[in-house]
Structure 1
Protein backbone atom coordinates (compact mmCIF):
# COMPACT_ATOMS: atom_id res chain seq x y z
CA UNK A 1 0.00 0.00 0.00
CA UNK A 2 1.14 3.51 -0.78
CA UNK A 3 -0.40 6.83 0.24
CA UNK A 4 -0.04 9.83 -2.04
CA UNK A 5 -0.76 13.40 -0.89
CA UNK A 6 -1.96 15.50 -3.83
CA UNK A 7 -1.96 19.27 -4.08
CA UNK A 8 -4.87 21.43 -5.23
CA UNK A 9 -6.56 19.81 -8.23
CA UNK A 10 -9.10 22.61 -8.81
CA UNK A 11 -11.00 20.81 -11.51
CA UNK A 12 -7.93 19.79 -13.53
CA UNK A 13 -9.16 16.24 -13.98
CA UNK A 14 -7.04 15.40 -17.04
CA UNK A 15 -3.88 16.27 -15.12
CA UNK A 16 -5.07 14.22 -12.15
CA UNK A 17 -5.53 11.21 -14.41
CA UNK A 18 -2.03 11.72 -15.84
CA UNK A 19 -0.55 11.90 -12.36
CA UNK A 20 -2.31 8.72 -11.27
CA UNK A 21 -1.02 6.90 -14.35
CA UNK A 22 2.49 8.12 -13.54
CA UNK A 23 2.38 6.71 -10.01
CA UNK A 24 0.49 3.60 -11.15
CA UNK A 25 -2.23 4.25 -8.60
CA UNK A 26 -4.18 1.14 -7.62
CA UNK A 27 -7.41 1.99 -5.75
CA UNK A 28 -7.52 -1.55 -4.37
CA UNK A 29 -4.21 -1.06 -2.58
CA UNK A 30 -3.29 2.63 -2.49
CA UNK A 31 -4.85 5.74 -1.00
CA UNK A 32 -4.98 9.36 -2.17
CA UNK A 33 -4.92 12.26 0.28
CA UNK A 34 -6.20 15.50 -1.27
CA UNK A 35 -5.19 18.88 0.17
CA UNK A 36 -8.55 20.48 -0.63
CA UNK A 37 -9.81 22.71 -3.43
CA UNK A 38 -10.90 19.79 -5.55
CA UNK A 39 -12.97 22.17 -7.65
CA UNK A 40 -13.13 25.64 -9.26
CA UNK A 41 -11.04 27.47 -11.85
CA UNK A 42 -10.18 24.33 -13.83
CA UNK A 43 -12.34 22.92 -16.65
CA UNK A 44 -13.53 19.63 -15.15
CA UNK A 45 -14.76 20.16 -11.60
CA UNK A 46 -17.73 17.85 -12.11
CA UNK A 47 -15.57 14.93 -13.26
CA UNK A 48 -13.08 15.55 -10.45
CA UNK A 49 -15.73 15.55 -7.76
CA UNK A 50 -17.41 12.42 -9.11
CA UNK A 51 -14.09 10.61 -9.32
CA UNK A 52 -12.92 11.40 -5.80
CA UNK A 53 -16.33 10.62 -4.32
CA UNK A 54 -16.43 7.25 -6.09
CA UNK A 55 -13.02 6.31 -4.68
CA UNK A 56 -14.66 5.80 -1.30
CA UNK A 57 -12.14 4.72 1.33
CA UNK A 58 -9.31 4.97 -1.21
CA UNK A 59 -9.45 8.77 -0.87
CA UNK A 60 -9.22 11.25 1.98
CA UNK A 61 -9.84 14.92 1.30
CA UNK A 62 -10.06 18.06 3.39
CA UNK A 63 -12.06 21.15 2.49
CA UNK A 64 -10.45 24.15 0.84
CA UNK A 65 -11.68 27.71 0.43
CA UNK A 66 -13.02 27.07 -3.09
CA UNK A 67 -14.89 23.99 -1.90
CA UNK A 68 -16.52 25.92 0.93
CA UNK A 69 -17.37 28.89 -1.27
CA UNK A 70 -19.10 26.55 -3.72
CA UNK A 71 -21.11 24.92 -0.93
CA UNK A 72 -22.04 28.29 0.55
CA UNK A 73 -23.26 29.49 -2.85
CA UNK A 74 -25.78 26.65 -2.94
CA UNK A 75 -27.33 28.11 0.22
CA UNK A 76 -27.41 31.69 -1.07
CA UNK A 77 -24.06 32.77 0.37
CA UNK A 78 -20.66 33.08 -1.26
CA UNK A 79 -20.19 34.14 -4.85
CA UNK A 80 -19.53 31.96 -7.88
CA UNK A 81 -17.94 33.83 -10.79
CA UNK A 82 -17.50 32.93 -14.43
CA UNK A 83 -13.82 32.29 -13.73
CA UNK A 84 -14.76 29.42 -11.42
CA UNK A 85 -15.98 27.39 -14.43
CA UNK A 86 -18.61 25.63 -12.32
CA UNK A 87 -21.62 25.78 -14.67
CA UNK A 88 -21.38 22.11 -15.62
CA UNK A 89 -21.25 21.08 -11.97
CA UNK A 90 -24.11 23.39 -11.02
CA UNK A 91 -26.30 21.90 -13.76
CA UNK A 92 -25.38 18.26 -13.08
CA UNK A 93 -28.24 15.86 -12.24
CA UNK A 94 -26.24 14.55 -9.28
CA UNK A 95 -25.39 18.02 -7.91
CA UNK A 96 -27.23 17.47 -4.62
CA UNK A 97 -25.50 14.13 -4.07
CA UNK A 98 -22.06 15.52 -4.84
CA UNK A 99 -22.57 18.62 -2.69
CA UNK A 100 -23.86 16.48 0.16
CA UNK A 101 -20.77 14.31 -0.01
CA UNK A 102 -18.42 17.31 -0.18
CA UNK A 103 -20.11 18.91 2.82
CA UNK A 104 -19.31 15.82 4.88
CA UNK A 105 -15.56 16.15 4.36
CA UNK A 106 -13.40 17.43 7.23
CA UNK A 107 -11.36 20.60 7.57
CA UNK A 108 -8.48 18.61 9.00
CA UNK A 109 -7.41 14.98 8.86
CA UNK A 110 -5.13 13.70 11.62
CA UNK A 111 -3.59 10.24 11.74
CA UNK A 112 -2.67 9.96 15.41
CA UNK A 113 -0.97 6.59 15.01
CA UNK A 114 1.55 7.87 12.49
CA UNK A 115 1.41 11.55 13.51
CA UNK A 116 0.38 12.83 10.08
CA UNK A 117 -1.84 15.87 9.51
CA UNK A 118 -3.57 17.07 6.35
CA UNK A 119 -5.00 20.59 6.02
CA UNK A 120 -5.69 22.94 3.12
CA UNK A 121 -3.98 26.18 4.18
CA UNK A 122 -2.38 25.87 7.61
CA UNK A 123 -2.63 25.93 11.39
CA UNK A 124 -2.91 29.09 13.46
CA UNK A 125 0.19 29.89 15.57
CA UNK A 126 -1.89 30.12 18.77
CA UNK A 127 -3.10 26.56 18.46
CA UNK A 128 -1.59 23.32 19.57
CA UNK A 129 -2.68 20.16 17.77
CA UNK A 130 -5.46 19.17 20.22
CA UNK A 131 -6.92 22.70 19.99
CA UNK A 132 -6.79 22.60 16.19
CA UNK A 133 -8.56 19.24 16.10
CA UNK A 134 -11.25 20.41 18.52
CA UNK A 135 -11.79 23.67 16.61
CA UNK A 136 -12.11 21.83 13.30
CA UNK A 137 -14.54 19.31 14.74
CA UNK A 138 -16.80 22.18 15.78
CA UNK A 139 -16.89 23.39 12.16
CA UNK A 140 -17.47 19.87 10.88
CA UNK A 141 -20.35 19.37 13.31
CA UNK A 142 -21.97 22.55 12.00
CA UNK A 143 -21.55 21.39 8.41
CA UNK A 144 -23.49 18.25 9.29
CA UNK A 145 -26.15 19.78 11.50
CA UNK A 146 -26.78 23.36 10.30
CA UNK A 147 -24.58 24.20 7.33
CA UNK A 148 -26.63 27.18 6.17
CA UNK A 149 -26.12 28.96 9.49
CA UNK A 150 -22.38 28.34 9.25
CA UNK A 151 -22.17 29.75 5.72
CA UNK A 152 -24.09 32.82 6.86
CA UNK A 153 -21.33 33.77 9.32
CA UNK A 154 -18.32 32.25 7.54
CA UNK A 155 -17.13 35.27 5.58
CA UNK A 156 -14.97 37.99 7.12
CA UNK A 157 -11.45 38.49 8.48
CA UNK A 158 -12.25 38.90 12.16
CA UNK A 159 -11.14 37.85 14.68
CA UNK A 160 -7.48 37.79 13.77
CA UNK A 161 -6.54 35.92 16.94
CA UNK A 162 -8.10 32.80 18.43
CA UNK A 163 -7.79 34.39 21.86
CA UNK A 164 -9.94 37.32 20.68
CA UNK A 165 -12.87 35.14 19.63
CA UNK A 166 -15.84 36.46 21.62
CA UNK A 167 -18.30 33.70 20.86
CA UNK A 168 -18.78 30.42 19.00
CA UNK A 169 -19.37 32.17 15.68
CA UNK A 170 -16.02 33.95 15.98
CA UNK A 171 -14.30 30.62 16.68
CA UNK A 172 -15.91 28.97 13.69
CA UNK A 173 -14.91 31.82 11.35
CA UNK A 174 -11.36 31.95 12.71
CA UNK A 175 -10.98 28.20 12.27
CA UNK A 176 -12.14 28.31 8.65
CA UNK A 177 -9.83 31.26 7.94
CA UNK A 178 -6.84 29.49 9.46
CA UNK A 179 -7.44 26.14 7.78
CA UNK A 180 -8.53 27.34 4.33
CA UNK A 181 -7.35 30.93 3.71
CA UNK A 182 -4.23 31.80 5.72
CA UNK A 183 -0.75 32.15 4.27
CA UNK A 184 0.94 34.73 6.49
CA UNK A 185 0.66 35.89 10.08
CA UNK A 186 1.94 38.94 11.92
CA UNK A 187 4.59 38.58 14.62
CA UNK A 188 1.99 38.17 17.37
CA UNK A 189 0.26 35.37 15.49
CA UNK A 190 -2.56 37.43 14.01
CA UNK A 191 -3.82 36.03 10.73
CA UNK A 192 -3.00 38.10 7.64
CA UNK A 193 -5.50 37.11 4.94
CA UNK A 194 -4.74 39.41 2.00
CA UNK A 195 -1.13 38.79 1.02
CA UNK A 196 -0.55 36.28 -1.78
CA UNK A 197 2.27 35.51 -4.16
CA UNK A 198 5.81 34.39 -3.49
CA UNK A 199 7.42 34.58 -0.08
CA UNK A 200 7.30 38.22 0.92
CA UNK A 201 10.30 40.21 2.15
CA UNK A 202 7.96 42.29 4.28
CA UNK A 203 9.52 42.09 7.79
CA UNK A 204 6.06 42.42 9.36
CA UNK A 205 4.82 39.16 7.80
CA UNK A 206 5.80 35.60 8.65
CA UNK A 207 4.66 32.48 6.77
CA UNK A 208 2.41 30.49 9.09
CA UNK A 209 4.65 27.43 9.05
CA UNK A 210 7.62 29.29 10.54
CA UNK A 211 5.69 29.55 13.81
CA UNK A 212 5.81 25.75 14.01
CA UNK A 213 9.51 25.39 13.18
CA UNK A 214 10.70 25.26 16.80
CA UNK A 215 7.77 23.25 18.15
CA UNK A 216 6.99 19.58 18.13
CA UNK A 217 4.41 18.96 15.45
CA UNK A 218 3.11 16.18 13.25
CA UNK A 219 4.23 15.79 9.70
CA UNK A 220 1.96 18.38 8.06
CA UNK A 221 0.79 18.40 4.45
CA UNK A 222 -0.87 21.52 3.03
CA UNK A 223 -1.86 23.09 -0.29
CA UNK A 224 -3.42 26.49 -1.07
CA UNK A 225 -0.20 28.46 -1.63
CA UNK A 226 0.63 27.86 -5.28
CA UNK A 227 3.32 30.53 -5.41
CA UNK A 228 5.50 28.48 -3.06
CA UNK A 229 5.86 25.94 -5.88
CA UNK A 230 6.01 23.14 -3.33
CA UNK A 231 8.71 24.79 -1.22
CA UNK A 232 8.61 24.79 2.56
CA UNK A 233 11.80 25.38 4.54
CA UNK A 234 10.41 23.83 7.73
CA UNK A 235 11.22 20.19 8.33
CA UNK A 236 8.23 17.82 8.14
CA UNK A 237 5.90 20.52 6.76
CA UNK A 238 5.22 19.79 3.10
CA UNK A 239 3.75 22.26 0.58
CA UNK A 240 1.91 20.42 -2.21
CA UNK A 241 0.12 23.07 -4.29
CA UNK A 242 2.32 23.65 -7.32
CA UNK A 243 -0.16 25.67 -9.37
CA UNK A 244 -1.71 23.10 -11.67
CA UNK A 245 -4.66 25.33 -12.57
CA UNK A 246 -2.22 28.13 -13.43
CA UNK A 247 -0.37 25.99 -15.96
CA UNK A 248 2.50 24.94 -13.72
CA UNK A 249 2.29 21.40 -12.26
CA UNK A 250 0.18 18.94 -10.30
CA UNK A 251 2.25 17.29 -7.60
CA UNK A 252 1.90 14.44 -5.15
CA UNK A 253 4.08 13.18 -2.32
CA UNK A 254 4.35 9.50 -1.45
CA UNK A 255 4.30 9.10 2.32
CA UNK A 256 5.99 5.70 2.21
CA UNK A 257 8.85 6.50 -0.18
CA UNK A 258 9.09 10.25 0.59
CA UNK A 259 9.26 10.93 -3.15
CA UNK A 260 7.50 13.61 -5.16
CA UNK A 261 5.89 13.10 -8.55
CA UNK A 262 4.61 15.81 -10.89
CA UNK A 263 2.92 16.27 -14.24
CA UNK A 264 2.57 19.41 -16.32
CA UNK A 265 -0.29 21.71 -15.34
CA UNK A 266 -3.44 22.73 -17.17
CA UNK A 267 -2.92 24.82 -20.29
CA UNK A 268 -5.84 27.16 -20.78
CA UNK A 269 -6.88 27.44 -24.40
CA UNK A 270 -7.85 30.91 -25.54
Structure 2
Protein backbone atom coordinates (compact mmCIF):
# COMPACT_ATOMS: atom_id res chain seq x y z
CA UNK A 1 0.00 0.00 0.00
CA UNK A 2 1.20 3.50 -0.86
CA UNK A 3 -0.11 6.90 0.23
CA UNK A 4 0.07 9.78 -2.24
CA UNK A 5 -0.51 13.44 -1.42
CA UNK A 6 -1.60 15.43 -4.48
CA UNK A 7 -1.85 19.16 -5.02
CA UNK A 8 -4.61 21.34 -6.41
CA UNK A 9 -6.58 19.71 -9.24
CA UNK A 10 -8.60 22.86 -10.04
CA UNK A 11 -10.75 21.10 -12.59
CA UNK A 12 -7.88 19.44 -14.49
CA UNK A 13 -9.38 15.96 -14.91
CA UNK A 14 -7.17 14.66 -17.75
CA UNK A 15 -3.89 15.39 -15.91
CA UNK A 16 -5.34 13.82 -12.75
CA UNK A 17 -6.19 10.63 -14.62
CA UNK A 18 -2.74 10.65 -16.23
CA UNK A 19 -1.09 11.08 -12.82
CA UNK A 20 -3.08 8.17 -11.42
CA UNK A 21 -1.77 6.08 -14.31
CA UNK A 22 1.78 7.34 -13.66
CA UNK A 23 1.70 6.17 -10.04
CA UNK A 24 -0.14 2.98 -11.00
CA UNK A 25 -2.86 3.85 -8.50
CA UNK A 26 -4.77 0.82 -7.28
CA UNK A 27 -7.87 1.62 -5.20
CA UNK A 28 -7.67 -1.81 -3.56
CA UNK A 29 -4.20 -1.00 -2.28
CA UNK A 30 -3.39 2.72 -2.29
CA UNK A 31 -4.68 5.90 -0.67
CA UNK A 32 -4.85 9.49 -1.90
CA UNK A 33 -4.66 12.71 0.09
CA UNK A 34 -5.93 15.70 -1.89
CA UNK A 35 -4.94 19.16 -0.69
CA UNK A 36 -8.14 20.96 -1.73
CA UNK A 37 -9.17 23.13 -4.66
CA UNK A 38 -10.59 20.19 -6.55
CA UNK A 39 -12.42 22.60 -8.83
CA UNK A 40 -12.35 25.89 -10.70
CA UNK A 41 -10.34 27.60 -13.44
CA UNK A 42 -9.53 24.30 -15.16
CA UNK A 43 -11.46 22.87 -18.13
CA UNK A 44 -13.47 20.13 -16.40
CA UNK A 45 -14.41 20.99 -12.84
CA UNK A 46 -17.46 18.73 -12.96
CA UNK A 47 -15.44 15.79 -14.24
CA UNK A 48 -12.71 16.28 -11.65
CA UNK A 49 -15.21 16.45 -8.79
CA UNK A 50 -17.02 13.38 -10.08
CA UNK A 51 -13.78 11.42 -10.35
CA UNK A 52 -12.79 12.24 -6.77
CA UNK A 53 -16.30 11.37 -5.60
CA UNK A 54 -16.03 8.01 -7.37
CA UNK A 55 -12.78 7.35 -5.47
CA UNK A 56 -14.08 8.68 -2.16
CA UNK A 57 -13.55 5.44 -0.23
CA UNK A 58 -9.82 5.75 -0.92
CA UNK A 59 -9.44 9.53 -0.78
CA UNK A 60 -9.09 12.02 2.04
CA UNK A 61 -9.77 15.60 0.95
CA UNK A 62 -9.47 18.97 2.66
CA UNK A 63 -11.46 21.99 1.56
CA UNK A 64 -9.74 24.75 -0.41
CA UNK A 65 -10.85 28.29 -1.09
CA UNK A 66 -12.18 27.41 -4.56
CA UNK A 67 -14.19 24.51 -3.14
CA UNK A 68 -15.71 26.88 -0.59
CA UNK A 69 -16.45 29.39 -3.35
CA UNK A 70 -18.38 26.68 -5.20
CA UNK A 71 -20.33 25.84 -2.05
CA UNK A 72 -21.09 29.51 -1.37
CA UNK A 73 -22.40 29.88 -4.93
CA UNK A 74 -24.52 26.76 -4.55
CA UNK A 75 -26.10 28.30 -1.43
CA UNK A 76 -26.81 31.55 -3.28
CA UNK A 77 -24.21 33.60 -1.41
CA UNK A 78 -21.73 34.19 -4.23
CA UNK A 79 -21.89 34.99 -7.90
CA UNK A 80 -19.66 33.25 -10.39
CA UNK A 81 -16.75 35.18 -11.86
CA UNK A 82 -15.83 35.28 -15.54
CA UNK A 83 -12.94 32.81 -15.06
CA UNK A 84 -14.91 30.37 -12.93
CA UNK A 85 -15.64 26.95 -14.42
CA UNK A 86 -18.26 25.94 -11.86
CA UNK A 87 -21.58 26.33 -13.67
CA UNK A 88 -21.61 22.74 -15.01
CA UNK A 89 -21.48 21.48 -11.42
CA UNK A 90 -24.36 23.72 -10.39
CA UNK A 91 -26.38 22.45 -13.38
CA UNK A 92 -25.48 18.76 -12.97
CA UNK A 93 -28.20 16.22 -12.14
CA UNK A 94 -25.97 14.78 -9.40
CA UNK A 95 -25.08 18.17 -7.90
CA UNK A 96 -26.73 17.44 -4.56
CA UNK A 97 -24.69 14.29 -4.00
CA UNK A 98 -21.47 15.97 -5.10
CA UNK A 99 -21.95 19.17 -3.13
CA UNK A 100 -23.27 17.45 -0.04
CA UNK A 101 -20.19 15.25 0.05
CA UNK A 102 -17.89 18.21 -0.62
CA UNK A 103 -19.41 20.30 2.16
CA UNK A 104 -18.76 17.49 4.63
CA UNK A 105 -15.01 17.49 3.93
CA UNK A 106 -12.70 18.78 6.71
CA UNK A 107 -10.30 21.70 6.80
CA UNK A 108 -7.56 19.61 8.40
CA UNK A 109 -6.58 15.96 8.02
CA UNK A 110 -4.05 14.17 10.20
CA UNK A 111 -1.99 11.24 8.97
CA UNK A 112 -0.43 9.99 12.21
CA UNK A 113 1.51 7.10 10.72
CA UNK A 114 3.60 9.68 8.85
CA UNK A 115 3.48 12.33 11.62
CA UNK A 116 1.79 14.50 9.00
CA UNK A 117 -1.03 16.99 8.79
CA UNK A 118 -2.64 18.33 5.61
CA UNK A 119 -4.58 21.53 5.06
CA UNK A 120 -5.11 23.55 1.90
CA UNK A 121 -2.88 26.53 2.69
CA UNK A 122 -0.70 25.31 5.56
CA UNK A 123 -0.54 25.28 9.34
CA UNK A 124 -0.78 28.71 11.01
CA UNK A 125 2.70 29.21 12.47
CA UNK A 126 1.66 30.43 15.93
CA UNK A 127 -0.89 27.66 16.48
CA UNK A 128 -0.08 24.37 18.17
CA UNK A 129 -1.51 21.32 16.44
CA UNK A 130 -4.14 20.85 19.12
CA UNK A 131 -5.27 24.45 18.61
CA UNK A 132 -5.38 24.03 14.83
CA UNK A 133 -7.33 20.80 15.21
CA UNK A 134 -9.90 22.39 17.51
CA UNK A 135 -10.36 25.48 15.33
CA UNK A 136 -10.74 23.44 12.17
CA UNK A 137 -13.38 21.36 13.93
CA UNK A 138 -15.29 24.53 14.85
CA UNK A 139 -15.77 25.41 11.18
CA UNK A 140 -16.43 21.80 10.17
CA UNK A 141 -19.21 21.67 12.77
CA UNK A 142 -20.67 24.90 11.40
CA UNK A 143 -20.69 23.48 7.87
CA UNK A 144 -22.53 20.41 9.14
CA UNK A 145 -25.34 22.57 10.57
CA UNK A 146 -27.83 23.80 7.92
CA UNK A 147 -28.66 27.05 9.73
CA UNK A 148 -25.10 27.90 10.70
CA UNK A 149 -23.80 26.95 7.25
CA UNK A 150 -26.06 29.57 5.68
CA UNK A 151 -24.67 32.23 8.03
CA UNK A 152 -21.15 31.00 7.33
CA UNK A 153 -21.43 31.31 3.55
CA UNK A 154 -23.25 34.63 3.76
CA UNK A 155 -20.31 36.06 5.72
CA UNK A 156 -17.37 33.99 4.44
CA UNK A 157 -15.73 36.54 2.16
CA UNK A 158 -13.40 39.19 3.52
CA UNK A 159 -9.86 39.82 4.72
CA UNK A 160 -10.63 40.84 8.26
CA UNK A 161 -9.94 40.12 11.01
CA UNK A 162 -6.33 39.91 9.83
CA UNK A 163 -5.26 37.73 12.74
CA UNK A 164 -6.45 35.44 15.46
CA UNK A 165 -7.36 36.31 19.02
CA UNK A 166 -9.28 34.19 21.47
CA UNK A 167 -12.07 36.74 21.88
CA UNK A 168 -13.33 36.37 18.33
CA UNK A 169 -16.91 35.19 18.04
CA UNK A 170 -19.44 34.18 15.42
CA UNK A 171 -18.87 34.82 11.73
CA UNK A 172 -15.67 36.84 12.31
CA UNK A 173 -14.20 33.87 14.14
CA UNK A 174 -15.27 31.41 11.43
CA UNK A 175 -13.91 33.70 8.69
CA UNK A 176 -10.43 34.10 10.13
CA UNK A 177 -10.11 30.37 10.81
CA UNK A 178 -11.15 29.66 7.23
CA UNK A 179 -8.74 32.26 5.86
CA UNK A 180 -5.83 30.71 7.75
CA UNK A 181 -6.55 27.22 6.49
CA UNK A 182 -7.50 28.06 2.90
CA UNK A 183 -5.93 31.41 1.88
CA UNK A 184 -2.76 31.90 3.94
CA UNK A 185 0.53 32.73 2.27
CA UNK A 186 2.28 35.63 4.02
CA UNK A 187 2.15 36.43 7.74
CA UNK A 188 3.82 39.04 9.94
CA UNK A 189 5.52 38.61 13.32
CA UNK A 190 2.14 38.66 15.07
CA UNK A 191 0.85 35.94 12.76
CA UNK A 192 -1.52 38.28 10.94
CA UNK A 193 -2.37 37.51 7.34
CA UNK A 194 -1.66 39.51 4.20
CA UNK A 195 -4.32 38.20 1.83
CA UNK A 196 -3.73 40.65 -0.99
CA UNK A 197 -0.35 39.25 -2.09
CA UNK A 198 -0.02 36.12 -4.19
CA UNK A 199 3.49 36.47 -5.55
CA UNK A 200 6.91 34.96 -5.17
CA UNK A 201 7.87 33.84 -1.66
CA UNK A 202 11.12 35.83 -1.85
CA UNK A 203 9.19 39.05 -2.53
CA UNK A 204 6.89 39.35 0.49
CA UNK A 205 5.03 42.52 1.39
CA UNK A 206 7.00 44.74 3.81
CA UNK A 207 6.92 43.28 7.29
CA UNK A 208 5.64 39.90 6.14
CA UNK A 209 7.17 36.50 5.39
CA UNK A 210 6.00 33.10 4.08
CA UNK A 211 4.11 31.43 6.90
CA UNK A 212 6.56 28.52 7.06
CA UNK A 213 9.51 30.89 7.61
CA UNK A 214 8.06 32.46 10.75
CA UNK A 215 10.85 32.30 13.37
CA UNK A 216 8.43 31.25 16.11
CA UNK A 217 6.62 28.53 14.16
CA UNK A 218 5.25 26.20 16.80
CA UNK A 219 4.97 22.79 15.11
CA UNK A 220 8.36 21.90 13.65
CA UNK A 221 8.13 18.17 14.32
CA UNK A 222 4.94 17.75 12.28
CA UNK A 223 5.17 17.14 8.56
CA UNK A 224 2.93 19.72 6.88
CA UNK A 225 1.34 18.97 3.50
CA UNK A 226 -0.35 21.84 1.69
CA UNK A 227 -1.32 23.23 -1.72
CA UNK A 228 -2.66 26.66 -2.65
CA UNK A 229 0.61 28.46 -3.48
CA UNK A 230 1.56 27.65 -7.08
CA UNK A 231 4.36 30.24 -7.13
CA UNK A 232 6.36 28.02 -4.77
CA UNK A 233 6.64 25.48 -7.59
CA UNK A 234 6.64 22.70 -5.01
CA UNK A 235 9.60 24.04 -3.02
CA UNK A 236 9.66 25.68 0.41
CA UNK A 237 13.30 25.26 1.43
CA UNK A 238 11.98 24.24 4.86
CA UNK A 239 12.38 20.69 6.10
CA UNK A 240 9.11 18.92 6.73
CA UNK A 241 6.98 21.50 4.90
CA UNK A 242 5.78 19.97 1.64
CA UNK A 243 4.28 22.23 -1.04
CA UNK A 244 2.08 20.24 -3.42
CA UNK A 245 0.59 22.86 -5.76
CA UNK A 246 2.82 22.99 -8.84
CA UNK A 247 0.49 25.08 -10.98
CA UNK A 248 -1.23 22.50 -13.14
CA UNK A 249 -4.05 24.87 -14.08
CA UNK A 250 -1.48 27.52 -15.08
CA UNK A 251 0.40 25.18 -17.43
CA UNK A 252 2.70 23.60 -14.87
CA UNK A 253 2.51 20.09 -13.49
CA UNK A 254 0.29 18.04 -11.24
CA UNK A 255 2.34 16.50 -8.44
CA UNK A 256 1.91 13.42 -6.24
CA UNK A 257 4.16 12.95 -3.22
CA UNK A 258 4.53 9.37 -1.98
CA UNK A 259 4.71 9.66 1.77
CA UNK A 260 6.48 6.37 2.34
CA UNK A 261 9.71 7.49 0.66
CA UNK A 262 9.26 11.15 -0.29
CA UNK A 263 9.40 10.46 -4.03
CA UNK A 264 7.55 12.93 -6.23
CA UNK A 265 5.68 11.98 -9.39
CA UNK A 266 4.57 14.60 -11.90
CA UNK A 267 2.37 14.86 -14.93
CA UNK A 268 2.59 17.80 -17.35
CA UNK A 269 -0.66 19.71 -17.60
CA UNK A 270 -0.40 21.79 -20.75
TM over 0.5: yes
Give the corresponding residue for 1:101.
Answer: 101
Aligned equivalents of 2:239, 2:217: Cα separation in 1:
7
| CA apart distance, 1:74 | 1.1
1:226-251: CA deviation from partner (whole Å, max 9, x where unpaired): 01100111111100000000011101
User: 2:156 aligned to 146, 154, 157, which one?
Assistant: 154
Pairwise CA distance, 1:159? 1.4
Give the structure 1 partner of residue 2 of structure 2. Answer: 2
1:167 corresponds to which residue?
169
Tell me the distance in 2 between the aligned counterparts of 1:106 and 1:81: 25
- Structure 1: segments with no counterpart, 5+ residues: none
* Partner residue of 1:208 out of 207, 211, 219: 211
Contact 1:34 1:61 in 2 (8 A): yes
Q: Which residue of structure 2 lines up, in the alignment, with residue 251 of structure 1? A: 255
TM score, norm. by length of structure 1: 0.94
Aligned to 1:70: 70
* Cα RMSD, aligned residues only: 1.5
- Asked whether the equivalents of residues 110 and 118 of structure 2 are also in contact (C-alpha less than 8 Å), the reply is yes
Structure 2 SS opposite 1:242: coil
Contact kept, 8 Å, 2:127 with 2:218, in 1: the verdict is: no
Aligned equivalents of 1:20 and 1:112: distance in 2? 24
Give 5+ residue unaligned stretches, structure 2.
none
Please give the residue correspondences for 1:23-172 in structure 2 after superposition, counting only pairs within 5 Å: 23-146=23-146, 147-163=149-165, 165-172=167-174
**More deviation in 32-41 or 51-60?**
51-60
Relative to 1, partners in 2 of residues 1:200 and 1:165: Cα closer, same or farther, differing over 3 Å? farther
More deviation, 81-90/129-138: 81-90
Which SS does the other structure have where 2:155 is aligned?
Answer: helix
Distance (whole Å) between structure 2 residues aligned to residue 7 and residue 165 of structure 1: 34
Q: Residues 234 and 39 (structure 1 numbering): CA distance in 2 closer, same or farther, change over 3 Å? A: same
SS of alignment partner, residue 209 of structure 1 = helix
Q: 2:228 aligns with which of 210, 224, 227?
A: 224
2:209 matched to 1:198?
no
Paired with 1:94 and 1:257, the residues of 2 have a C-alpha distance of: 38
Deviation, 1:215, is 4.5
Work out whether residues 213 and 235 of structure 1, in 8 Å CA contact, stay in contact via their aligned partners in 2.
no
Distance 1:90 1:129, change over 3 A: same
Cα distance in 1 for residues equivalent to 2:167 and 2:39: 30
Task: Determine helix, strand or coil for the equivalent of 1:163.
Answer: coil
